[in-house]
């Protein structure tokens, strides 16, 4: 039974790593990422909402202490 020749494995692995790195970089370079919307000046858009300046509190009936 012949011996497995492993003398070229090192160079094969060492050349494969930079190649895979370059392939991944090229793939990432071509991807389109989501662009966030442009920020708008809030002073231009002044909405008058009647409940905006108020604090509101919602109390559920179960959150009240139980009465005996």
Share of the chain above pLDDT 70, in %: 57
pLDDT at 13: 95
Average pLDDT of the chain is 77
Tens digit of pLDDT for each residue in 24-50?
A: 999 999 888 777 788 766 555 555 565
- pLDDT band at residue 61 under the 50/70/90 scheme: low
Distance CA 44, CA 50 (A): 18
Residue 39 in tokens: 């920020």
**Helix (H) / strand (E) containing 12:** helix 9-29
Spell out the residues 6+ positions from residue 66 whose beta carbon is closer than 8 angstroms to its own. none
Upper half-sphere CA count for residue 26 (Cβ side, 13 Å): 6
Share of the chain above pLDDT 90, in %: 32
């Amino acid at each position: 039974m012949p011996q497995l020749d492993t003398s070229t494995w090192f160079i094969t692995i060492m050349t494969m790593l930079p190649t895979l790195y370059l392939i991944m970089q090229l793939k990432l370079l071509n991807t389109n990422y989501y662009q966030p919307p442009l920020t708008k000046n809030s002073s231009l858009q002044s909405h008058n909402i009647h409940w905006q300046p108020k604090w509101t509190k919602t109390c559920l009936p179960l959150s009240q202490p139980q009465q005996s």
